[in-house]
């Protein structure tokens, strides 16, 4: 497949496994310079070692999207390694606690919303200037059917993904005015 993105630079969060890892693999195959990020540097390095990347095409930096200072450190590492990014794929997330609404405590809600909703907001705020600077930037939020079809025993996760969907739609609406982008 040729997505016509060869030579672009991408950051993928939640990249050491699952959809994030598969996204990194596909971007590398398209000739993109990729920065992969996830929580644990050792796990991230092991994942990176499984990929077929040319020298200088793949970089890996650990970051916690629920921590603003960690996201700012990631921004610095990315800038030093590749400069500005063109593509931001936000895959970092957690499932959070299961249970009925009255069974889930505030800490469970807070952690799930902090990682799944506020995490992508932190990363987008840190890298928005990169995406805007070249007039081409692309943003991908990895979400779930839970954003539009909530399940009664996964409400924190569903609420976070619905919020993320709303932000994505809001940015699309704002694009012609350049308010979001």
pTM exceeds 0.75, yes or no: yes
What is the sign of the dihedral through the CA atoms of 106, 111, 115 and 118?
positive
The total number of structural domains that make up the chain = 1
151 a catalytic residue: no
- CATH label of the domain that carries residue 41: 3.40.50.720
Give the integer Cα–Cα distance in Å for 30 and 37.
19
3 within a domain of the structure (yes/no): no
Residue 3 pLDDT? 85
140 within a domain of the structure (yes/no): yes
Domain that holds residue 131: 9-177
133 within a domain of the structure (yes/no): yes
Q: pLDDT tens per residue, the chain (181 residues)? A: 788 899 999 999 999 999 999 999 999 999 999 999 999 999 999 999 999 899 999 999 999 999 999 999 999 999 999 999 999 999 999 999 999 999 999 999 999 999 999 999 999 999 999 998 988 999 999 998 988 999 999 999 999 999 999 988 887 665 555 555 5
Q: Which of the residues 157, 158, 160, 161 is marked catalytic?
A: 157
2 within a domain of the structure (yes/no): no
Contact between 36 and 44 under an 8 Å Cβ cutoff? The reply is yes
Distances from the Cα of 83 to the Cαs of 2, 46, 55, 79, 131, in angstroms?
A: 24, 24, 16, 4, 12
Which secondary structure element, helix H or strand E, spans residue 99, and what is its range?
none
């Amino acid at each position: 497949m040729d997505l016509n993105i060869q030579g672009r630079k991408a950051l993928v969060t939640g990249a050491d496994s699952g959809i994030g890892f598969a996204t990194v693999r596909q971007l590398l195959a398209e000739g993109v310079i990729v920065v992969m990020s996830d929580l644990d540097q050792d796990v991230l390095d092991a994942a990176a070692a499984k990929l077929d990347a040319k020298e200088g095409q793949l970089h890996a930096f650990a970051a916690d999207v629920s921590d603003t200072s960690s996201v700012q450190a990631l921004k610095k590492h990315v800038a030093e390694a590749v400069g500005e990014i063109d593509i931001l794929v936000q895959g970092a997330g957690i499932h959070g606690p299961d249970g009925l609404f009255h069974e889930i405590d505030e800490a469970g809600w807070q952690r799930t919303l902090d990682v799944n909703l506020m995490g992508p907001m932190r990363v987008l705020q840190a890298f928005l200037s990169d995406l805007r600077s070249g007039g081409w930037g692309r943003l991908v939020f990895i979400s779930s059917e839970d954003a539009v079809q909530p399940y009664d025993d996964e409400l924190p996760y569903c609420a976070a993904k619905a919020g993320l969907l709303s932000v994505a739609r809001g940015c699309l609406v704002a694009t012609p005015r350049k308010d979001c982008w």
